[in-house]
Amino acid sequence: MAHRWTNDLTRDDVTPYKDYLNRRQLMAGMTGLGLAGLVGTGSAAAATDLTPTSYEDITSYNNFYEFGTGKGDPATYAHLLNTQDWSIQIDGLVDRPGDYKFDDVMKEMTVEERIYRFRCVEAWSMVVPWNGFELKDLLDLAGVQSEAKYVAFETLYRPTEMVGQRLPTLNWPYVEGLRLDEAMNPLTIMATGIYDKPIPNQNGAPLRLVVPWKYGFKSIKSVVRITLTDYEPPTSWNQAGPREYGFYSNVNPEVDHPRWSQATERLIGGGVFAKRQDTLMFNGYEEEVAGLYEGMDLQRNF
């Protein structure tokens, strides 16, 4: 794998999303099958008409309950978190379990720019120019064993610095999970930057998951542990409200939250008079991911 990360990324250091798609299409062309269906022209068009939300909005309107429940709390308190010497424990059904130092991991990963829609279950949305690497590449580093079916994620637990963890708002540490095929999908990334700058603490430094076709709470921040399992792992919001937050949590305008509609969303940064916009099936990534859920009842598996 190419070693392309610096802590001071410029536009020249990352692969623009359009080039990424072209490269994938090229690869698809070479192999003839498979990926051609995965990355059609529709997704390329969808990727290019996205106007990123401002850096200021992305980094000041946050959900990160480890620092409080207010939208401004993470930006106010997350500087207290020390992210030096970060490592990620990768264990469970892998060939090479262990503590992976963040700096060492970055030397192995290819960081690209991915401009993704980001849709919170609370019915607001943004467009975020992430920098990150595919989760698949990290899992390949650890060597996923054939019995593995799910991937569990865990956020740091450190109440001395994560002041919101002193209150029982959620069961700490924050945990999340994906089915293995969702985790291996090329759209699923570990984000390490925004707008070509290292990811700010309030957005989940030094690395957080981003799954663009799912509600934002699946995109767990400040990850310290990744466990490969053969069972569906517990998830924090599902534990807090099992009837409101399911394991899958795919963005779906036709499946309402018990307390509000999911048909439309408020785009952050649009101003007070901005019209709400329609929410897209799988957040606009239907072409890429609908196949993962073929034959599944999405009302029941919400």
Site string for ligand MTE, 161-180 (x = CB under 6 A): -------------x------
- Is omega for the bond preceding 198 within 30 degrees of 0, making it cis? no
The count of residues in the chain is 302
Nearer to ligand MTE, 158 or 276 (CB): 158
Nearer to ligand MTE, 102 or 144 (CB): 102
- Coil, helix or strand at residue 276: coil
Using CB under 6 A as the binding rule, the residues of this chain from 187 to 216 that contact ligand MTE are: 203, 216
Reduced DSSP (H G I as helix, E B as strand, rest coil) percent helix, strand, coil of the chain, to 5: 30, 25, 45
Nearer to ligand MTE, 25 or 188 (CB): 188
- Which run of H or of E encompasses 20? helix 17-31
Contact residues for 32 (Cβ-Cβ < 8 A; gap 6+): none
Binding status of residue 120 toward ligand MTE by CB under 6 A: yes
Binding status of residue 235 toward ligand MTE by CB under 6 A: no
Angle at 175 between CA 107 and CA 131, to 5 degrees: 35
Nearer to ligand MTE, 14 or 120 (CB): 120
Binding status of residue 66 toward ligand MTE by CB under 6 A: yes
Q: Which residue is nearest to ligand MTE (CB)?
A: 216
Contact residues for 205 (Cβ-Cβ < 8 A; gap 6+): 78, 81, 83, 198, 199, 222
Taking CB under 6 A as the binding criterion, the range among 18-26, 59-67, 239-247, 282-290 that sits at the site for ligand MTE is: 59-67
Binding status of residue 283 toward ligand MTE by CB under 6 A: no
Binding status of residue 217 toward ligand MTE by CB under 6 A: yes
